Structure 1
Amino acid sequence: MAGPTLSSPDIPNSPRVAELDGALDKIGVTRSHHTIIFLILIGCLFDSFEQNAIGLVGPLLKQQWGLSATDIGLLNTITFASAAIGRIVSGLVADRYGRRVMLSLDLLLFTLGAGICALAPDLTVMAIGRAIVGFGLGGEIAIAVTMLAEFCSSKFRGTAVGLVNVGAGGMGNFLAPAFGLLVFTLFPGENSWRWLFFCLMLPALLGAFYRRYIPETPRFLLSRHKIAEANQVLARLASGKLSGPAPQGQAWISDDGKREQAAPVKVRSMEIFQGALARRTLPLCIAIWMTYGAQISVLTLMPTILVSLGYTMSKSLLFTMVMQSGSLLGAIAASAFGFHLPRKRVLTAGAIGACLAALTIGFLAKNIVLILAAGAVFQFFVLLLNTTIWIFAPELYPTRVRAFGTAFILATGTAAGAFMPLVAGRLFDAFGLAGVFGMIAAMYGIFTLAVRTVPETYGKSPDAPLQDDAPEAPVQAVAARS
């Protein structure tokens, strides 16, 4: 997909890009950043509730509409498949027309889908609603990750992006059952599931706040040569006030009214599959396929595995929730490590930890206490890895293709979540617990090899040139440059 022709502000060594990097580093973290992060986190929290919605209402739909387990599974498959498409399309649109407009559109789409689900008279209409929901929520998370990477300084960028998965993957998955219980308690009866979907339309209110308080990112504006607008956004970030009259004062980026003279850069979304960018896209796609596929396989099969070991369904669900406690801690740890540690170091150590935890569950866990402990440790490392990939992905691409590159990587993970549980299920039927977790351990071995081939980005401008074959810099040296 070809885009507009851009000149030097989108080139890594552009003086204006250096000025923007310096401005963001000097501004640091202000109240404006807190507001932007809070609004995006709320949206991503409801994204997570939406992803869990079919699991929450599934028993009621089976009872009321006579659906089979296959029908319920189909609704989930539609949601995940549509989310993958939504991520890719949203990335393409965001690179062409801006991050802000796509974030608001995705929010409205998944709100519309929730409304259709709430009013659905049958499975067909429900499936249409879930397709719209999936497109919107998949796109919103991809754009949220990109926006936060572009709003923040090199030092704070990892922490800010990591917080998205604290809300979506950590808090969201942990609180989703409580959200469902609250709605079913407040609105009992045969239509309680409809009320759940109505409550999931609340993010529509966020749309007004998004339009009022969240500006376009300065990096995107600079890539479109909108210097004055980029300076206005930087002034709002520095002042801590996102609304009201634009603050007057320092011009963070020089503007002589002329475009910098340099060879024009042709923007093509498909360049993420060519040359140096391809050497980043392919390994990270392999890595996210491995970790997302492993995570969703375990979440899908663990209740069945525990039942096969002789535990009741209610106890199996309770034990699964105990294991999930590690997820929130893993997402929080990734956000903290994003501030202090290189990405590849965190990914390598986390993959080794996940591999060892998987081997423990598959071959050494002989009682429920050890299974629960190893399961919680496994979930910790899984969310540590997933969140760090969210941090890493937008840093690997220049502004002109950042949204699409990030979206494509996350869409690959979504596709793995739809496919790999089928493989894991067959392995469990054939080889039991050892078969499933032996495969997962091997997947994390592949993950480790894949991420070692990607250049390090910690402490660098997201538009800085990266040496794809350079060894990882020591923490002290990298921190000194940030």
Structure 2
Amino acid sequence: MASFEVPGAANGRHDSATAAVAMAPAALAAQGKGAIAARLDRLPATRAVWKLVLLLSLGFFFELYDLLYTGYVAPGLVKSGILTPTTPGLFGTAGVASFIAALFSGLFLGTIACGFLADRFGRRSIFTWSLLWYVAANTVMAFQDTATGLNFWRFVSGMGIGVELVTIGTYLSELAPRHLRGRAFAVCQTIGFSAVPVAAWLAYRLVPSAPYGLDGWRWVVLLGGVSALFVWYFRRNLPESPRWLAGQGRVAEADAVLARLEAQVEREYGQPLPAPAAAEPVVEKAGFAEMWKPPYRKRTIMLVIFHVFQTIGFFGFANWVPTLLVKQGISVTSSLLYTTVIGLAAPLGPLLGYWIADRFERKHVIVFMSAVNIVAGLVFSQVSSAGAIVVLGVVLTLAGNIISFSYHTYQQELYPTAIRARAVGFVYSWSRLSAVFSSFVIAFTLREFGVTGVFVFIAGAMALVIVAIGVMGPRTLGKSLESISH
């Protein structure tokens, strides 16, 4: 993929984009940080803009592969004797729940304690290093033979994934112009959730066997890590976020990055770019305390409640569906086949969302799809035929993934650039903490109350999601990030 070059520089050509590069420092300072954002938001959706979305989406693909293969390899871990389906006590460390909890404990620490890294060191560098971190950890994990070793390295891997997830969302929200921000997240999530059928199919083919004498689940883990290194190679074409650079006082660098992008966009657009809107005021400095002051306090409380309970709905199904099916008497191989078919629907959720992303309020989409999740989940718990299992599984997958792309867009919009990564990291971390404990609760509920009990528990959680977002959520559709921050 081509890097951003300034066309015409060698022959003396100066267009509206490249002229900005030559601005004197004083003029750049006078222009202000708000003008950088205004210039970004007026960019048309050309190939150059979508290339940035694609590069970030490739990173998200491997993030979700690593995040969501958990449920698909779980039967293999049980078959190998490393883990057990359930445990005698609520917090047993040798069951599938402990493996899930280890991942989400790492995700929690990565998001709550390390989310600030992208605000401090930049979106681009943290995007790269966190990816290398979790690839290395997963590689070591693939060769573990004890529950303790497996869980420890899954925890370490989770830390890197947690930082990466926050960074990708922050990065994308700042690079995408406001008129296509929702669609950019929809495309990113469509590509990202394509990892679900890939992971499911690989698990279906590999987990029941041991190619070349190596357990199939180990191959599933290793293939994701090796492939993710390609993203590290392609990341060199990603520019740093101009919004972040401007927020750090590096306005000249922000202007240079943006001017190169503008030049490429204008060349593809075939006509002069539209004039930027009037610069809006930018929140200059903000720290952790700002999250607890108006207008952010209400948003923070809302998102904490949301993340505690949406995780139960999303991962309660995604991570547990193969195990739930086995519990209903379906064989491991058939369970993985059903989940592979269900997994094919994963990228369709955000793909459908592409058509509604910038037409409907994010909060309304989240509320509606949460209601769909409740109804489909309760019905899923009562059916046993293959057709009904697959159809309802697809509905649950579509609803969950539309909620996912909607809230990933939404939460990034609710905070200013100065604290976006750390604020989103903080509220997002509660979903990880919730997943740690809910995985044990689901295992306990499955043992005591069966599959029906699990889905009643999930339905109650999604009802609280509806209340939190429906009552407390602000409107953001079509607004600039800067205007939402005031």
Indicate whether the TM-score tops 0.5: yes
* CA apart distance, 1:269: 2.2
CA change 1:142–1:194 in 2 (3 A) is same
Superposition pairs of residues 232-381 of structure 1, within 5 angstroms:
232-240=256-264, 265-362=284-381, 365=383, 367-381=385-399
Letter matched to residue 475 of structure 2:
E
Native 8 Å contact 1:231 1:252 kept in 2: no
State the alpha-carbon separation in 2 of the partners of residues 186 and 301 from structure 1.
23
Matching residue within 161, 167, 175 for 1:143: 167
**TM-superposition CA deviations, 1:216-248 (whole Å, max 9, x none):** 11111111222211111212222338xxxxxxx
Letter matched to residue 375 of structure 1:
G
Q: 1:188 is paired with a residue of what secondary structure?
A: helix
Matching residue within 190, 201, 207 for 1:178: 201
Q: 2:286 is paired with a residue of what secondary structure?
A: strand
**TM-score of the two chains, using structure 2 as the length reference:** 0.79
State the alpha-carbon separation in 2 of the partners of residues 326 and 264 from structure 1.
40
Q: 2:347 is paired with a residue of what secondary structure?
A: helix
State the alpha-carbon separation in 2 of the partners of residues 356 and 123 from structure 1.
36
* CA apart distance, 1:294: 1.3
Match of 1:478 in 2: none
Matching residue within 140, 146, 163 for 1:116: 140
* CA apart distance, 1:430: 4.1
State the alpha-carbon separation in 1 of the partners of residues 243 and 282 from structure 2.
19
Q: Which stretch shows the higher mean deviation, 73-82 or 15-24?
A: 15-24
Match of 2:232 in 1: 207
Matching residue within 61, 66, 84 for 1:50: 66
Matching residue within 216, 228, 240 for 1:216: 240
Match of 2:53 in 1: 37
State the alpha-carbon separation in 2 of the partners of residues 61 and 310 from structure 1.
18
State the alpha-carbon separation in 2 of the partners of residues 82 and 313 from structure 1.
28
Native 8 Å contact 1:16 1:253 kept in 2: no
**TM-superposition CA deviations, 1:273-315 (whole Å, max 9, x none):** 3332120011122223222211222234434443454433433
Is 1:444 paired with 2:451? no
CA change 1:375–1:103 in 2 (3 A) is same
CA change 1:449–1:58 in 2 (3 A) is closer
State the alpha-carbon separation in 2 of the partners of residues 263 and 63 from structure 1.
55
Is 1:410 paired with 2:433? no
Superposition pairs of residues 83-162 of structure 1, within 5 angstroms:
83-118=107-142, 125-162=149-186
Native 8 Å contact 1:290 1:416 kept in 2: yes
* RMSD across aligned positions (CA): 3.5
CA change 1:369–1:408 in 2 (3 A) is same
Letter matched to residue 317 of structure 1:
L
Letter matched to residue 226 of structure 2:
M
* CA apart distance, 1:410: 2.5
CA change 1:208–1:120 in 2 (3 A) is same
Q: Which stretch shows the higher mean deviation, 372-381 or 426-435?
A: 426-435
Native 8 Å contact 1:43 1:206 kept in 2: yes
State the alpha-carbon separation in 1 of the partners of residues 374 and 165 from structure 2.
27
Q: Which stretch shows the higher mean deviation, 282-291 or 68-77?
A: 68-77
CA change 1:268–1:439 in 2 (3 A) is same
Native 8 Å contact 1:162 1:390 kept in 2: no
State the alpha-carbon separation in 2 of the partners of residues 465 and 331 from structure 1.
24
**TM-superposition CA deviations, 1:44-88 (whole Å, max 9, x none):** 222223234555666666676755552554343222211221122
**TM-score of the two chains, using structure 1 as the length reference:** 0.79
Letter matched to residue 234 of structure 2:
F
Q: Which stretch shows the higher mean deviation, 100-109 or 48-57?
A: 48-57
Structure with bigger RCO (C-alpha 8 Å, 6+ apart) = 2
Percent sequence identity is 25
Letter matched to residue 276 of structure 1:
P
How many residues matched? 439
Native 8 Å contact 1:29 1:156 kept in 2: yes
Letter matched to residue 165 of structure 2:
I
CA change 1:23–1:385 in 2 (3 A) is same
State the alpha-carbon separation in 2 of the partners of residues 81 and 49 from structure 1.
18
Q: 1:311 is paired with a residue of what secondary structure?
A: coil
Matching residue within 417, 430, 433 for 1:399: 417
* CA apart distance, 1:166: 2.0
Q: 1:354 is paired with a residue of what secondary structure?
A: helix
CA change 1:428–1:36 in 2 (3 A) is same
Native 8 Å contact 1:86 1:135 kept in 2: yes
Native 8 Å contact 1:114 1:201 kept in 2: no
Letter matched to residue 444 of structure 1:
M
CA change 1:315–1:59 in 2 (3 A) is closer
State the alpha-carbon separation in 2 of the partners of residues 285 and 308 from structure 1.
32
Native 8 Å contact 2:349 2:397 kept in 1: yes
**TM-superposition CA deviations, 1:338-377 (whole Å, max 9, x none):** 22221122112212222222343356x4755344323321
Q: 2:395 is paired with a residue of what secondary structure?
A: helix
* CA apart distance, 1:433: 4.2
* CA apart distance, 1:198: 4.5
State the alpha-carbon separation in 2 of the partners of residues 194 and 350 from structure 1.
35
CA change 1:354–1:193 in 2 (3 A) is closer
Match of 1:3 in 2: none
State the alpha-carbon separation in 1 of the partners of residues 393 and 144 from structure 2.
37
State the alpha-carbon separation in 1 of the partners of residues 274 and 389 from structure 2.
58
* CA apart distance, 1:444: 2.2
Unmatched segments (≥5 aa) in structure 1 = 1-13, 242-248, 468-482
CA change 1:203–1:455 in 2 (3 A) is same
